[in-house]
Chain A
Amino acid sequence: MTLTGAQILWEALVREGVTDVFGYPGGAILPAYDAMLAYPIRHVLVRHEQGAAHMADGFARASGRVGVAIATSGPGATNMVTGIATAMMDSSPIVCITGQVGSRLIGSDAFQETDITGITLPITKHNYLVTGVHDIAPAIREAFAIARAGRPGPVLIDITKDAQQASAEVDWDAAAPRLSEAYDDALPGDGDAHDALALIATAERPLILAGHGIVQAGAERQVRELAERAGIPIAVTLLGIGGVPASHPLNMGMMGMHGEAWVNQAIQEADLLIALGMRFDDRVTGNLKTYAQTARKIHVDIDRAELNKNVRVDVAIARDLRAALDEWLPLITPRDRAGWLARIHALKGDAAVRDIQNLPDDGHLYAAHVINDLWRLTHGDAIVVTDVGQHQMWEAQYYKHDTPRSLITSGGLGTMGFALPAAIGAKIACPDKEVWVVVGDGGFQMTMCELATAVQEQLDINVAIINNGYLGMVRQWQEFFYDKRYAATPISGPDFARLAGSFGIPAAVVKTRAEVAGAVEAARRQKRTAVIDFQVEQEDTVYPMVPAGADLHKMIRRPSPIVETAAD
């Protein structure tokens, strides 16, 4: 059967199992839009193409399926760049489709012509400029295969208008992806399981560093079993949260810049680090020269280019994590490491742990309280999508995630404006899940236009604005490192409740601790988008903190023993 390029595009998406796409039309993608209505795919009209890419990303992170974003050429395509870079840094599988000017116009600075394959070359796993109708089906099939394969990530397909308009017969079998066979070859010098097992068997103070790769590989059970059998405590990265239940007795909590003090101390005292699907980002290592000096290191990651990048390791294994652990598990000898666990618990005791719930209500509203209450009131069952800033770190500290894919946050790129659109994507991927946005007053103002998208799509999303009147995280740096000169960090905003009202969204304003539960419960009851403006303490600080580039164990601790972290 003869189809137009536009029809081939949709047919190919349907064949890839795509049910929802996030996009915005324009001249160069119009032929594709014209053909769309005949296909069983839900199109979500975004308010800004950055939102489309974040929604595709949120969709992918919540479900593990490939998210799809569509935009027109020129400004439509460039608006997606931040979203693509965000997905690249956090290994999120998305496919972005952009229209391009007619092939004969390429290179002529035609109206809305942009070299988007050139622009996105370093922030995609791969991209395509498709100028012929015959190349559309193979490009889409290959793009989905690449987005999912190995370490997942974004792929962009730029399709010229004439390719969308031309017609062709499609041979779907011939369009099957032919990826390079070289992809899986081991390189000389790769470490093997025996070396890793030998180190694990003899270690006295081992620690598992659990990253995003655990969730990506679906190796949650294997990691837990490894920890339980060998008696090894676990520390998680920001994106590793949920990969191991927060309530698991061996899960010590988050590591890194705003990680738990005892976790960072344990890393510095360990004699073996078993890094699983994480990449020793500078936010988790601090000063590399003093990082984990006493520890041997095993690193398993599917991306060989991550091995020996920031930290030199003793055993480097480039492999799918689940496959590697499945091989290890039968060979692990059970060990009791009570002494080491007791040592970490002692460190934890040192850290002046208090249950923040027991703090007297002094009339102030702390963001940490809001988030901890949110955790209790949602029974820890919600998908929480955060933005970037102080509220993000408080979320990581005070919302206890027991299930994978229940925290969605921009880690590697730290993209403000991510939360609301990513939450829309997550809700569309998982319509039966309760979805909460935890966002700062600064980041919310970057992409709040997507409230209209949520309304138009009749989504039930709850938005908790942690409103401190500041670009709080930057203010915190100014407080510590720039003598409290608050240059350009005080930020005003609209009356968020009235703003929500203008979108037809019910809203509440919360100024005291006593009002938190009522507002959260009211938002949960409403089966539609709701906004709560939590007006919190303005100059609150995220503790503990490892200053950028400082030694991991030299954390800035909270001066008064108010809120160190949640004990439970």
Chain B
Amino acid sequence: MLHTFAVYVDNKPGVLNRVASLFRRRAFNIESLTVGHTETDGVSRMTVVVDTDEYGARRLEAHLYKLVPCRRVDNITHAPAIARDLALIKVAATGEARTHVMQLVDVYRARIVDVSPESMVIETTGTEDKIDSLVEVLRPYGVVEMVRTGRVAMARGLVNGRRIAPRTGAGAAASEVNGDISSCSV
């Protein structure tokens, strides 16, 4: 089954590589992985979705904790949580079809964010299911390009209120030759 982890990591060069490499080396299949800044400077948060069983999930959590820049791992699979995906969908709809697409966009509470003579770009946020279903209904009109962020998720309420302080010291040995990972997705 799909497990969703919120993983807090020091925002340092190579951290994304360490996490991705761990999943590859341990033969876990990443469904999606997103990274972004958190409320704390120097700490990034990843949302990782993995297909595994309960034992696998526990082992993965333990492995993540063994990565030195990993600060906290929450398995929010079974916690009440809000999960969202964002998609940009380019549809090659013109003439008559355009009106139909605009109606569908309304029904799905999506937005049209760009229009050109041959195509339009639709932006939508929601659960993966909702986006999948929107993509399906748009497909007959010609989906020519799509990009999705992958799932970001947050538990409801104050489940784990402990804040993570930014870290200094050796680990902070950041170098200007490597970029930071403040925002990227896999």
Contacts and interface: CB of A to CB of B under 8 A. Distances in A.
A312 interface: yes
Contacts of A409: none
A565 B92 CA distance: 78
Contacts of B167: 178, 180
A132 interface: yes
B178 to A, nearest CB: 8
Contacts of A130: 173, 175
Contacts of A140: 170
Contacts of A359: none
A142 B169 contact: yes
Given A182-B72, A187-B61, A305-B66, A128 B170 contact: yes
B55 A312 contact: yes
B176 to A, nearest CB: 8
A138 interface: yes
Interface residues of B, number: 33
A138 B12 CA distance: 15
Interface in A277-308: 303-305, 307-308
Contacts of B21: 121-122
B162 to A, nearest CB: 10
Interface in A106-157: 106-107, 117-118, 121-122, 125-126, 128-132, 135, 138-143, 146, 150
Contacts of A129: 13-14, 173, 175, 178
A336 to B, nearest CB: 37
A183 B65 contact: yes
Interface string B62-99: 11011111111100000000000000000000000000
B161 interface: no
Given A103-B177, A132-B173, A138-B170, A146 B62 contact: no
A40 B149 CA distance: 55
A17 interface: no
Nearest to B68: A126
B58 interface: yes
Pick from B22, B169, B177 the residue with the most CB of A within 10 Å: B169
Contact of B173 (A128, A305, A309): A128
A273 B25 CA distance: 29
A303 to B, nearest CB: 8
Contacts of B169: 138, 142, 174-178
Interface of B: 13-14, 17-18, 21-22, 25, 55, 58-59, 61-63, 65-73, 167-173, 175-178
Interface of A: 103, 106-107, 117-118, 121-122, 125-126, 128-132, 135, 138-143, 146, 150, 174-180, 182-183, 185, 187, 189, 303-305, 307-309, 312, 318
